[in-house]
Amino acid sequence: MSNDITRFDKYLTSAGPAALVIREYLVPVEGPDGVLFPPTFASGDGFPGGYNIDGEANGEKIALIDTVGAQSNRIEPIFTEPEYAELVPQVVIKAGAKFVNLLQASHRAGDAIVRCTPLQVELEKAFRELLDGNATALAKIAPTSLVFGVWDSRKTQAKMPRLIASTIRAYNVRRLTRHAQFNPTMDYVAAGVLTEPEDLRDSEGKIIGKHPFAQRGFTHVPITKKENTHGGVIADGGIRRDATLALAALSLIKAGSDKESTQRLQRYILGLALVAFTRLPGGYIRQGTLLVSDTRDGMGRQSNEVFPDGRRVPFAVTHEQALAFAKDAAKAFGVGENRNVVFDAKLAETDLKEAKKEGKGGKKSKAKKADAADSGADAEQNAEAKAE
């Protein structure tokens, strides 16, 4: 393919495709009838908690295996890898003894960990320029925020929709439960090493699982029927990843009224998006869920360009071609500088004081708004990890 910087300009025009789509069929490494584990979510807003499984009581059940936010948080960190790191600024925040790359922050450029650093003023200025129609400053600091979406919900309210959305679902699922029993290395009481506490058992003679003697592993602990835990699902209808790169949304990313600057900016963001889109995350999703491509007939991966009139044309750009273009586009745009900054506890204290003032004023907390909305900030991944 030509190294002409204009080679993907068709994706930046209204006459071009509205989106690129990938439909990829996946299968557990154990095989089509293997057990996989969806994320478990906390209860709230009428949701009882646990797996997110939709469908009528007697109809097909569809289980959410990986959310849009979780997928984004799996894809974005590829830009920390040596092969891709020069495409974007590497902003590293030192917080205590921990170092966090901005590419790993859940809320990206709107995250508290970067908001409470010396970059605060510069970022706020960049977000205000974004509100005025110029995304250049933000692209110089956190360009992937323009690829995976961002919302400065705690300050300026500036937001950009995500260009890439990817979700994994399992179809016609059967829910399983599991039981477990802990058996100690030895029977400490029978061996005369320890004496069984008088209050270890309930009135029926059953071991109380919450008793310290049981909690510390000195006796066997059965899980009662009431404590049945999630045992995963079997997807009789298969597993599918659906991914979209919304090319039409690229028109929202501008460098003010300067057409040439806007074109350089859009090419740069397009390059990053194509790199991410053609290298979707690998097979490991979570413990018990390792998925690979389903190579059976009629399965595999299908990629298309979808035009406004509904036409579908095969999308044939390889990852290598996308990466080569991204490097050219990044060079033409001028990648922002790498930064090493320190988390400032005083800025965090000021931020918290502002939040308290908003609360006392009777206004709904901006933080609550951010957590309740699909902002592209990807708190789902954190919630999922905590729930598990």
Residue 373 pLDDT level (bands cut at 50, 70, 90): very low
Are 193 and 152 in contact by the 8 Å Cβ rule? The answer is no
The residue that leads in pLDDT, 288 or 337, is 337
List, for residues 136-176, the tens digit of each pLDDT value: 999 999 999 999 999 988 889 999 999 999 999 999 999 99
Are 274 and 8 in contact by the 8 Å Cβ rule? The answer is yes
Residue of 183, 116, 96 lying closest to 355 (CA atoms) = 116
The stretch 352-361 carries a mean pLDDT of: 74
Distances (CA, A) of 64 to 42, 165, 205: 14, 14, 41
The stretch 282-303 carries a mean pLDDT of: 89
Residue 382 has pLDDT above 70, yes or no: no
Residue 371 has pLDDT above 60, yes or no: no
Tell me the C-alpha distance between 277 and 298, whole Å: 22
Mean pLDDT score across all residues of the chain: 87
Residue 19 DSSP SS3: strand
Tell me the C-alpha distance between 338 and 386, whole Å: 31
Tell me the C-alpha distance between 326 and 270, whole Å: 8
Tell me the C-alpha distance between 294 and 26, whole Å: 5
